[in-house]
């Protein structure tokens, strides 16, 4: 009787150990994340614009996600070029301001291979939306950018096209 009970419970006990091992492996995989950083000093450059056009003067500050200042440069006729120190962990934020108290424009840097960044109201909206989605990750930046894209109502229908798409795009109808 004891032997029968042992053989009946043995698969249940072993499956509990196997499940525990699998959960430990899953946890280990989830907790591993790839840390992106600039391995060497890197120049980031671009232009700054607002709803009125290119911004002529102001400053661009590069800071880490916690707000620690990395560097600051002056904007020259709408253009900026900032050197990011080696071993800087991403994401970083490029923040433009023209004067104290004025509205700030932001661009979030999440890729170590891209060096040109525009700073404008759209990049500011995308960065803000990504932050509310959980942070400045590639996935959140993509979702935020897709949500920020605007399609005029005049071009929307239930199928996504206005009119006959074959004619509109060179078809024979």
Mind listing the pLDDT tens digit for each residue in 135-144? 999 999 999 9
Q: What is the pTM of this model?
A: 0.69
pLDDT for 151 equals: 58
**Which own/partner pairs from 60-67 qualify as long-range (CB within 8 Å, at least 24 positions apart)?**
60/94, 60/95, 60/96, 60/119, 61/94, 61/95, 61/97, 62/92, 62/93, 62/94, 62/95, 63/92, 63/93, 63/95, 64/88, 64/89, 64/91, 64/92, 64/93, 65/91, 65/92, 65/93, 65/135, 65/136
Measured in whole angstroms, how far is the alpha carbon of residue 71 from the centre of its chain? 21
Query: Any idea where the domains of the chain sit in the sequence?
Result: 1-29, 37-148
Query: According to the CATH classification, is domain 37-148 in 1.10.10.10?
Result: no
**Are 136 and 108 in contact, with CB atoms under 8 Å apart?**
yes
Mind listing the pLDDT tens digit for each residue in 70-101? 999 999 999 999 999 999 999 999 999 998 87
pLDDT for 99 equals: 83
Residue 18 φ/ψ, nearest 5 degrees: -65, -40
pLDDT for 100 equals: 80
Mind listing the pLDDT tens digit for each residue in 110-124? 999 999 999 999 999
pLDDT at 27 over 90: no
**Are 54 and 87 in contact, with CB atoms under 8 Å apart?**
no
């Amino acid at each position: 009787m004891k032997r029968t009970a042992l053989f009946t419970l043995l698969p249940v006990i072993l499956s509990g150990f196997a499940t525990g091992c699998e959960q430990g492996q899953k946890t280990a995989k989830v907790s591993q994340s790839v840390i992106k950083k600039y391995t060497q000093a890197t120049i980031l450059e671009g232009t700054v614009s607002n709803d009125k056009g290119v911004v002529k003067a102001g400053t661009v500050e590069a800071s880490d996600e916690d707000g620690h200042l990395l560097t600051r440069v002056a904007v020259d006729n709408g253009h900026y070029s900032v050197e990011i120190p080696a071993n800087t962990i991403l994401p970083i934020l490029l923040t433009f301001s023209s004067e104290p108290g004025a509205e700030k424009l932001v661009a979030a840097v999440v890729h170590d291979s891209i060096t040109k960044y525009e700073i404008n109201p759209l990049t500011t909206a995308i960065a803000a939306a990504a932050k509310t989605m959980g942070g400045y990750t590639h996935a959140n930046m993509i979702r935020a950018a897709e949500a920020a894209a605007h399609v005029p109502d005049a071009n929307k229908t239930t199928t996504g096209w206005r009119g006959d798409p074959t004619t509109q795009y060179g078809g024979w109808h």
